[in-house]
Amino acid sequence: MAALSRAARVAALEEVQRDIRALRMPGFAGPPVHGPPVLSSVFLLGQAPGPHEARFGRPFAWTAGRTLFAWMARSFGATEEAFRARVYMAAVVRAFPGKTSGGGDRVPSPAEIEASRGFLSREVAILRPRLVVPVGRLAIEQVLGRGTRLDQVVGRTVHGEYHGAEVDVIALPHPSGASTWFKVEPGRTLLERALRRLGSHPEIRRAFR
């Protein structure tokens, strides 16, 4: 993929995104959602769209997004508009999984996760990112392995491999209003440490100079 022109790489991403929009699974409660085909070395991996994202046609379009973009502004001064224009935004699952009987967002099934894995593999092959930012426990486990605890990785830079690409990983907790992890210790301190690491990372500095 590295030998392709910029136009060819954008076209390849657009092809992946056409396939994403065509994805339908019985458990999904909404249509697939994706961001723009941004050529970026920074790859943000969310968990899944929420109930509002399909209406707006973009990831992190509701309450969690406001918190996430406030973190980015605090970390390196990026506006939401600039962030969306310079970072590729993907997700473990590309459509809203629906609600549980208790009213919370349903955790995607292994089959639903697997159905989107090929999209991620193709996106990484096209982009060859050097920095991956998984947001939330599900996304972190998909990048760093099942059972990875937030307090083990948030606030650190982890070097690893993601879909065949050698990457740095800077994990963030999920910015959901339902989450309290980043509002109390040690999560509060670890989040601030993660945001400092993110803001000083060479790929972020290159993208937002």
pLDDT-derived band at 102 (thresholds 50, 70, 90) equals confident
If pLDDT is split at 50, 70 and 90, which confidence band does 30 have?
confident
Q: What percent of the chain has pLDDT over 90?
A: 86
pLDDT (tens digit per residue) in 16-27: 999 999 999 888
pLDDT of amino acid 117: 97
Mean pLDDT of 50-67: 93
Which residue matches tokens 């549980």?
100
pLDDT at residue 100, as a whole number: 84
Q: Which of 39-48, 95-104, 130-139 has the lowest mean pLDDT?
A: 95-104
pTM to 2 decimals?
0.95
CA angle 131, 61, 40 (to 5 degrees): 25
In this predicted structure, the answer to whether residue 2 has a pLDDT above a threshold of 60 is no
Q: Which whole-number Å values give the CA distances from 142 to 22, 157, 170, 199, in the listed order?
A: 23, 16, 13, 23
Band (60; pLDDT cuts 50, 70, 90): very high
pLDDT the model gives residue 66: 97
Pair 1, 12: CB distance under 8 Å: yes
pLDDT level of residue 7 (50, 70, 90 thresholds)? very high
Confidence band for 1, pLDDT divided at 50, 70 and 90: very low
Task: Name the β-bridge partners of 135.
Answer: 172
pLDDT (mean) for 150-173: 98
Query: What phi and psi values does residue 43 have, to the nearest 5 degrees?
Result: -120, 110
Three-point CA angle 86, 154, 53, nearest 5°: 45
Task: Give, for 196, the enclosing helix (H) or strand (E).
Answer: helix 187-200
pLDDT, the chain, mean: 95
Please name the helix (run of DSSP H) or strand (run of DSSP E) that holds residue 89, with its range, or none: strand 88-91
